[in-house]
């Protein structure tokens, strides 16, 4: 026996305590998924009303807004990648990052330069490790996103989209020089959509320029949109609505990503617990074998010793 | 839906704050204070940070603080949307006041102005409710 019984016992013990941890993480993730889904549900009325209002303005006025105008000859794109803050969630972050890389290659093939924006520590670490530039990163909220984060992200992305400067420049921000990348012509978001507890899909959507999604969540077709009076004016109302619409889409993506992250973590922790179970079984078997081998060896030593003694006595007589 | 009440929904970005039947809704829009009664014409208007006052169908009145958002009125349905909205009874005026002091001390003008307006609305709502 290469390893003694004592060592096997130690291994069983450490695997058992590991199992306790993964089991706890599994249960925590499971209980948080429910909360994350509730949060996604309670954000739905806002998104629904906002979509109604935006389509009302879009239907009854022919307003061109910078956020909805397709730029001619787009040269630069921004990607917002939504990853998790913590690992131990299986392939969750890496599959989002893979999707982001695919999108980046596609955009680059179309001759666009790509700026990266990150949400979540894992994505940030991925880019920093490879020494690739990140324009801005937001971290520390991936499993419980709040609307403030969505607002901040929306503010930055809209700023980058509206900015028409073709060159990077430096501005004064809080007394420090801050590099502002050139304005982008389109903004994409890569996140993981929560389809069910078992299926989460990385997806990319184009956030800007906005296409007001008429099909999604439209009021029932028999309901005619009323002839609204816009105050102060359709342009100004649209001006106020569209950034909020963008923020609400980002918030939606963050909430979906949070639910997906927790589901992925629960799945990963469940299989870790199952593996620990199997390991414990295997170690217990080998430990029993080692114990049995020890006993057999002791018996044969005693028998051998007795025989040797008997032989010696027989010889001396 | 009856003809003399409004169906009101106050929605914040992350939750539905209040919904129910009401007779009067008072809000502050970009164009000034508006009061909405049943059978109001359809309006879509930008909302400024301020206090919403709603008289419910049971004759009670409640107040809420909202920040920038908008209000839409159509077919006796009123939707009030804001990034943040809180009913006055859920607001701690003291806390909002000390927060206001702290924000005023900051030197980031653009952010501070919005924040100050938001907090002032909260304080006003809490004071009027008590």
**pLDDT tens track, chain A, 317 positions:** 456 788 889 999 999 999 999 999 999 999 999 999 888 888 888 888 888 888 777 776 666 777 877 777 888 889 999 999 988 888 899 999 999 999 999 999 988 888 999 999 999 999 999 998 888 899 988 888 888 888 889 888 888 888 777 666 666 655 556 666 778 888 999 999 888 888 889 998 888 887 765 444 444 544 556 677 887 787 888 888 888 888 888 998 999 999 999 999 999 999 999 999 999 999 999 999 989 998 999 999 999 999 999 998 888 77
Distance (Å) from the C-alpha of residue B105 to the closest C-alpha of chain A? Answer: 15
Ramachandran sector of residue A263 (left: φ over 0; alpha: ψ -120 to 50; beta: rest): alpha
Nearest to A148 by CA among B97, B84, B49: B84
Residues of B with CB under 8 A from a CB of A: 9, 11-16, 29-31, 41-46, 68-70, 72, 74-75, 79, 81, 83-84, 108
| In-domain check, residue A68 | yes
Which residue blocks in chain B are alpha helix, DSSP H?
A: 93-105, 109-129
Give the per-residue pLDDT at A76.
Answer: 87
Contact pairs from chain A to chain B, CB under 8 Å:
87
Residue A247 included in any domain: yes
Q: What's the number of domains chain A is made of?
A: 1
Confidence tier at B65 by pLDDT (50, 70, 90): confident
- CATH architecture for residues B6-87: Sandwich (2.60)
**Chain A residues with CB-CB distance to B81 below 8 A:** 46, 49-50, 53, 244
User: Residue A187: beta bridge partners?
Assistant: A78, A208
From A34's Cα to the closest Cα of chain B, the distance in A is 16
A179 located within any domain = yes
Which has the closest alpha carbon to A257: A65, A39, A107?
A39
CA B34, CA A35: separation in Å to the nearest integer? 37
Q: Cα–Cα distance between A141 and A158 in angstroms, integer?
A: 21
Residue A140 or residue B108, greater confidence: A140
Interchain contact, A226 vs B70, CB within 8 Å? no
A161 part of a folded domain? yes
Q: What is the per-residue pLDDT across B19-61, written as a single tens digit (0 to 9) for each?
A: 889 998 988 887 788 888 888 888 888 888 888 888 888 888 8
Residues of B in contact with A232 (CB under 8 A): 30-31, 45-46
Task: Give the mean pLDDT of B89-111.
Answer: 75
pTM: 0.82
Residues of chain A contacting B, Cβ within 8 Å:
39, 42-43, 45-46, 49-50, 52-53, 56-57, 146-147, 150-151, 174, 225-232, 236-237, 240-241, 244, 247-248, 251
Calculate what percentage of chain B has a pLDDT beyond 70. 92
Contacts of A39 in chain B (CB under 8 A): 14
For B87-121, b/e burial (b = at least 16 CB within 10 A) is bbeebebeebbebbeebeeeeeeeeeeebbebbbb
pLDDT > 90: percent of chain A: 39
**Chain A residues touching B69 at Cβ < 8 A:** 244
- State the pLDDT at residue A118: 92
pLDDT of residue A126: 93
- B107 band by pLDDT with thresholds 50, 70 and 90: low
Range of the domain at A83: 17-213+228-270
- Judge whether residue B99 has pLDDT over 50: yes
- A63 lies in some domain: yes
- What does the pLDDT read at residue A216? 45
Residue B116 has which token pair?
């100050």
Of the candidates A52, A216, A48, A42, which has an alpha carbon nearest to the alpha carbon of residue A146?
A42
Put simply, the answer to whether A43 touches B83 (Cβ < 8 Å) is no
> Residue A222 has what pLDDT?
47
CB contact under 8 A, B42 and A42: no
Among B19, B33, B78, B81, pick the best mutation site for testing chain A contact (most A Cβ within 10 A). B81
> Testing the interface with B: which of A54, A144, A231 to mutate, by most B Cβ within 10 A?
A231
- Check B29 against A231: CB less than 8 A apart: yes
Q: Which residue in A has a C-alpha nearest to residue B107's C-alpha?
A: A174
Dihedrals phi, psi of A200, to nearest 5 degrees: -130, 135
Residues in contact with B82: Cβ distance below 8 Å, sequence separation at least 6, in sequence order: B10, B11, B12, B13, B47, B66, B67, B68, B69
pLDDT at B110: 64
| Residue from the list A42, A151, A240 with its beta carbon closest to the beta carbon of B46 | A240
Q: What CA–CA distance (Å, rounded) separates A23 from A21?
A: 5
- Here the CATH number for the domain that contains residue A208 is 3.40.1380.10
Are B11 and A46 inside 8 Å of each other by CB?
A: yes
Asked, for residue A122, whether it belongs to a domain, the answer is yes
């Amino acid at each position: 026996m290469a390893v003694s019984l004592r060592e096997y016992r130690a291994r069983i013990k450490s695997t058992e305590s590991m199992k306790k941890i993964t089991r706890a993480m599994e249960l925590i993730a499971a209980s948080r998924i429910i909360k994350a889904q509730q949060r996604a549900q309670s954000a739905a009325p806002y998104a629904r009303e906002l979509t109604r209002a935006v389509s009302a303005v879009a239907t009854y006025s022919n307003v061109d807004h910078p956020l909805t105008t397709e730029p001619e000859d787009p040269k630069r794109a921004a990607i917002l990648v939504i990853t998790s803050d913590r690992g131990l969630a299986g392939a969750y972050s890496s599959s989002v990052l893979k999707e982001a890389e695919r999108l980046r290659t596609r955009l680059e093939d179309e001759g666009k330069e790509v700026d990266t924006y990150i949400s979540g520590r894992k994505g940030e670490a991925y880019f920093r490790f490879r020494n690739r530039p990140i324009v801005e990163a937001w971290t520390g909220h991936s499993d419980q996103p709040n609307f403030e984060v969505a607002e901040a992200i929306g503010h930055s992305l809209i700023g980058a989209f509206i900015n028409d400067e073709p060159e990077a420049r430096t501005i004064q921000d809080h007394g420090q020089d801050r590099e502002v990348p050139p304005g982008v012509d389109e903004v994409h978001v890569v996140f993981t959509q929560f389809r069910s507890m078992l299926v989460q899909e990385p997806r990319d959507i184009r956030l800007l320029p906005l296409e007001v999604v008429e099909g999604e969540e439209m009021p029932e077709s028999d309901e005619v949109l009323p002839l609204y009076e816009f105050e102060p004016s359709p342009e100004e109302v649209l001006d106020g609505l569209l950034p909020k619409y963008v923020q609400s889409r980002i918030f939606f993506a963050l909430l979906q990503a949070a639910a997906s992250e927790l589901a992925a973590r629960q799945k990963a922790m469940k299989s870790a617990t199952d593996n620990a179970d199997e390991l414990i079984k295997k170690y217990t078997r080998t430990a029993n074998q080692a114990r049995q081998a020890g006993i057999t060896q002791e018996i044969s030593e005693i028998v051998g010793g007795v025989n040797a003694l008997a032989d010696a006595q027989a010889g001396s007589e | 839906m009856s003809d003399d009440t409004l169906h009101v929904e106050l929605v914040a970005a992350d939750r539905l704050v209040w919904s129910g039947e009401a007779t009067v809704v008072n809000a502050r829009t970009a164009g000034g204070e508006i009061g909405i009664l049943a059978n109001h014409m359809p309006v879509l208007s930008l909302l400024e940070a301020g206090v919403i006052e709603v008289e419910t169908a049971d004759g009670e009145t409640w107040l809420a603080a909202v920040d920038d958002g908008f209000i839409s009125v159509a077919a006796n349905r009123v939707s009030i949307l804001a990034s943040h909205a809180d009913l006055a009874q859920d607001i701690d005026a003291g806390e909002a006041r000390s927060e206001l002091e702290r924000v005023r001390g900051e030197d980031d003008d653009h952010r501070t102005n919005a924040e100050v307006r938001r907090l002032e609305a909260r304080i006003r709502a809490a004071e009027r409710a008590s």
